[in-house]
Chains A and B, each alone.
Chain A
Amino acid sequence: MKRLLLGLGLAGLLAWLIALHSNLGGKTMAPLRFPTYPPALALEMMALGNKELASTLIFYNAQFYFGEKYAWRKEEPEYQRLFAGLDKATDLDPRNMDCYYFAQGLFSDIKPAIPVLNRLLKKGLESRPTDWYLPFFLSANYYFQLKDPVTAAHYLQKAAALNPDNALFASLSARMLYQGNQTEAAVLYLRAFIKETNNPSVQKLLLKRLYALEAIHYLEQAVATFTTQHNRPPRTLAELIHAGIIKKIPADPYGGTFEFDATGRVVTTSKLAEAWKDHDKRDHNQQAQ
């Protein structure tokens, strides 16, 4: 009888602890940091002849880290460290397509990251010369971020030659080169990219971007209609509602509001570019203060 009571008492205590833990929520969690990996040579030596596996493990770590940090904890991922990890993973196994795909998904919208991202993709292209994704990614980065349609077209042709049955390239290159509608091309590119992913957190990130792009596309079309009707561009987005062209301004998935920039283009208030910063340096500065 005594033992039974003791057992029940302990069970009750455990239940209380579990309840307490879920109430505490994230407060008891240790901060999540992405590791800084040793140099690729050291990693290769530690892998004991299994560098492909080491590469996959780094990628998995990056993927799981991103999932927890971005989708679950809703914290800002340490993008530079993530990139450094993926860079080392592709040094170990330059054929690891997961890394390139993940890197493109994560960094293609962060303008300051584009030079290093393109370098990473070119490393992949060297080892995977028959993979159409890599020139496809490069083409998108050159076109949307670096505003270099000539190089973009060169890579797009390469991608099309590797995958001649895909209709995507024709419509994409038509929009990129002849109609000059960047937003429409970007939506098309992003849809093609999202179709290929099976990682929920990456999908979440990309869908957010897609919604923003679609909203911008929608607003741009409204601006074009306004301009033809009134022979002048609208001064504010609110004018579009007054003119009865749209019912309301769509919400910015990044939490801000859509507005016109200095050249009159619709932009979001997304601060994505700021996410590309050196966390180590920032930590250091914080400590110094």
Chain B
Amino acid sequence: MTSAITTSRLSKSYKKGVRRQQVAALANLDIEVQQGEVFGFIGSNGAGKSTTIKILMGLIKPTDGQAWLFGQQASAPAARARVGYLSEHPHFYDFLTPVELLRLLGAMRQMPQQDIRQQTEKLLGLVSLSEAADRKIRGFSKGMVQRLGIAAALLDDPDLLILDEPMSGLDPLGRHLVATIIRDLQQQGKTIFFSTHIIPDIETLCDRVGILVRGQQKYVGSIQEALYPAGNRFEITVRMPEQWRPEQGILAPHHLLWHKESLYKFEIAETDISSIAQGVIASNGSIVTLEPKRRSLEELFLDLSGHSEPTTERTLASPAP
């Protein structure tokens, strides 16, 4: 089975300013997204996420390297036949209504009229725009436009969805809606590639993530591994008897974060978990929570920026045929 997305040493640089200085927006990106995978593409603003997506959609040409969608060169129009795309801050013909817009897109994809009608009805219901189906897009709110964009991307029942910041501009309800849609699609075996800078989305949705820092690929792999790497520290909350004092016993060398009445929270190392658990039980105490100390996205980026060499999950095999 061919990969849904493959890139090989994908690079893009722009000439900027009067001196035409080369500014690298993207350097040597190697990613491979398998079919059926949900792949999150993370990076701060200007990290090169949109550049990558635009290259994949054939909107811009890479300065170096190549990109394939289902084994076809991304620059070829036919490569987009199985792809649904949502751009960042989508902007539609605002003189049209959602129904007309979807009819136009369906016609461009050579879909049968019957299918267009069915899909339009179904998808506008899915993104809760049924009531606005015959209103001009001109009067839509930002969230409505975003949801319409998702419907437009899903119109032709694509095998691969490329979504640029699908959660931006959405209220919590809309965000929940999109998350649900992505999960449903994942269950249908669709491939989803989306960029975001909102961490909770990624944690719950993605199988794997790629992290970009200033155009450089810093990490590709499981999000859990990135956020909770080996050697990570844990936070343990314990309930201890009244006479128990933190200065005594097994927990004494660990850092006390806070305590309230009989509840104590410590920061501990992964290797100490079992000995501490035994000690707590031995002191007639009980464990209330034990959770890994999660890194914030900022910490993660800072951490990744510190590395000079990109941390790759593995070296890529030769690109798809």
Q: Do chains A and B touch in the complex (CB under 8 A)?
A: no
- Which residues on B are within 8 Å of A, measured CB to CB? none
- Which residues on A are within 8 Å of B, measured CB to CB? none
